[in-house]
Amino acid sequence: MGSFSTFLNNMDWTGLLMLLFSAAAALLCITFHELSHGFVAWKLGDPTAKLAGRLTLNPLRHLDPLGFVMMVLLHVGWAKPVPIDLRYFKNPRRDMALTALAGPASNFLLAAAALLVGRVLLFADIGGMAGVYALLAVMYIAVLSVGLGVFNLIPIAPLDGSKVLISFLPERLYRVVLRYERWGMLALLLLVWLGVLNGPLNFLMSWAVRGLCFVTGFPYYLFAGLFF
C-alpha cells in the first residue's frame, strides 16, 4: 500500500491532464474535419459519406489510430478519410477541391471559435485552477485544430492539399498524379519520420495561431513557450 501511495505522489498529474486535454481536443478536431468533408460532398451531390454513416459527431467513426497519436503527441496528424465518389459531382475537379478544402477550413473556424471562448474566459476572470484548466482546454483545441488544418493542406496525397492542387493540373498530368496517389502516404510518413516537416509546420502553425489571435483578440503570448 505504501509503494502505491508513493507512486501516486510521484505521478506527474499535470502532464497526464495535459495529455488528456490533447486527446480530447484531437477527437473534437478530427470529427469536425471529416464531418465537414462529408457534409460538403453531400451538398454537392455525393451521398457516399452519408450512406457510410460518416455524417456523424461520433469521433470513433472518423478515427485513424496513427494520425490520432500524432495529433496528441506532435500536434499534427490526420483522420480516417471519408469516402468520396467523383461520379456524383457535376464538376468533379472543382467539387473535389471544394470538398477537400472544407476540412481545413472547418479546423480554422473551430480554432477561431475556441479562441473567442478563451477571450470570454479571460474577460470573465474565472479564478482558481478551474479557470486555468478551462483556458488550457480551449488553447489545446485551437492549436490542434490549426495543426490538423495546416498539415492537411500539404499537397501530398492523400492529404487535402493534394486534391486541391491536382484540380488545377492539365487533364493528362491529373490522371498521372491520380495513378501514383497511393504512394503519397509512404512519402508522407517518411518525411514525418525524418523530421523534415517539423520546422515548416511549426512555423506555419505559429503564424496561423498568431493571425487568429489577432482576429479574435486573444493574447498570443499565452501560447509562447507552451506550444511554440
Measure the CA–CA gap between 221 and 213, rounded to whole angstroms. 10
**Maximum Cα–Cα distance across the chain:** 71
Q: Which of 21, 22, 34, 44 is catalytic?
A: 34
Q: Is 181 a catalytic residue?
A: no
One-character DSSP codes across 79-128: -PPPP--GGG-SSHHHHHHHHHHHHHHHHHHHHHHHHHHHHHHHHHT--H
Q: Please tell me what DSSP assigns to residue 154.
A: S
Provide the residue type at 40 as one letter: V
Residue 46, number of CB atoms within 10 A of its CB? 24
Q: Which of the residues are catalytic?
A: 34
